[in-house]
Amino acid sequence: MAEETQRSRPPLLCTECVLGLGTAYGPTLRSSPIDIYTRRRSVTEIDAQRTFLREGETPGSIFTLYSGWAYQFKQLSDGRRQILSFLIPGDSIPLEQICAPNHPLPYSVKSLTPLSVCAFDLSSIAETVHATDEQRSHMAGIMADQFTAMHRRLTDLGRRSALGRVAQLILELEQRLRNRQMSENGVFPFPVRQEHIADALGLTTVYVNRVLDRLRQDSVIEFNRSQMTVLDMARLRQIGEEE
């Protein structure tokens, strides 16, 4: 778990991919794994800090992140940047394209760490994913979650203090990682720079540093460059709610 920062490679066969079961196409992978496997175009390695999808493009593939972290962002003309969401192993990118292929991407995607990704043919995956009722409603559920997450983040930016936002972000990441067996007892990989937190939460690096420091002083969290530990989950939740 702790070696999450190192790149690890997906198995040769999707059939044996445990992570796959938790993805957007999980139900299909379970019921007829070969349908997924035959649609895989390639397994690719991507270096850290690479913008591998750009706003405005119309990608023909969809990537499932096997290992490493990435993020979706919008870049303003004068250099300001807004991170829309972080992507962790098991996430598919760009998710919305599965439902609406051939739309130009409304954001760019950049790797945070080295990645291993599986690339699938978008249009045929899009079909697959709407083939069965179970798969369709699973997909709908994922889209609904996506909306809910955006609503939460919007509320954080609009109505919470810096402290509250940081707390909410840590909680969100812990939760998502836990769902995928990547967080245990509040300990999880954390390859995010303070600059990224700032760009995700609408703050400056300096202030994020001060907020993190405060949480550390108060023994709510503990962290270094690659790992975060939530020491006091209840307190962190309370801060997230109240601030």
Per CB under 8 A, residues contacting a second copy are: 74, 76-78, 80-82, 84, 96, 99-100, 103, 106-107, 137, 140-141, 143-144, 146-148, 150-151, 153-155, 157-159, 199-202, 241-242
Residue from the set 78, 79, 147, 224 that interacts with DNA by CB under 7 A:
224
Of 14 and 197, nearer to DNA (C-beta) is 197
At closest approach, how far in Å is the CB of 167 from DNA?
A: 12
Phi/psi at 86 (5° precision): -95, 150
Give the length of the chain.
243
| Member of 70, 203, 215, 239 binding DNA (CB under 7 A) | 203
Could you say which of a second copy, DNA, none residue 157 binds, taking C-beta under 5 to 8 angstroms by partner kind? a second copy
The answer to whether residue 51 forms part of the interface with DNA (CB under 7 A) is no
CB of 212 vs DNA, minimal distance in Å = 6
Name the binder of 204 from a second copy, DNA, none, CB < 5-8 A by kind.
Answer: DNA
To a second copy, the closest distance from the beta carbon of 82 in angstroms equals: 4
Shortest Å, Cβ 65 to DNA: 20
Which range, of 27-35, 36-44, 146-154, 160-168, touches DNA by CB under 7 A?
160-168
The answer to whether the beta carbons of residues 117 and 66 sit under 8 Å apart is: yes
Nearest partner of 168 among 241, 113, 86, judged by Cα: 241
151 lines the binding site for DNA (CB under 7 A): no
Residues 40/11/175/182 CA torsion (nearest 10 deg): -160
> Helix 205-217 vs helix 194-201: angle between axes, to the nearest 10 degrees?
110
The per-residue DSSP string of 117-134 comes to EEEEEHHHHHHHTTTSHH
Q: Which listed option, DNA, a second copy, none, makes contact with residue 206 (CB within 5 to 8 Å by class)?
A: DNA
Dist CA 194 CA 213 (whole Å): 11
Q: What residues have CB less than 8 Å from 195, skipping those under 6 apart?
A: 205, 208
Question: In the numeric block, which tokens belong to residue 28?
Answer: 């299909």
- The whole-angstrom separation of Cα 56 and Cα 49 is 19
Binding site for DNA (CB under 7 A): 161-163, 193-195, 202-207, 209-210, 212-213, 224-225
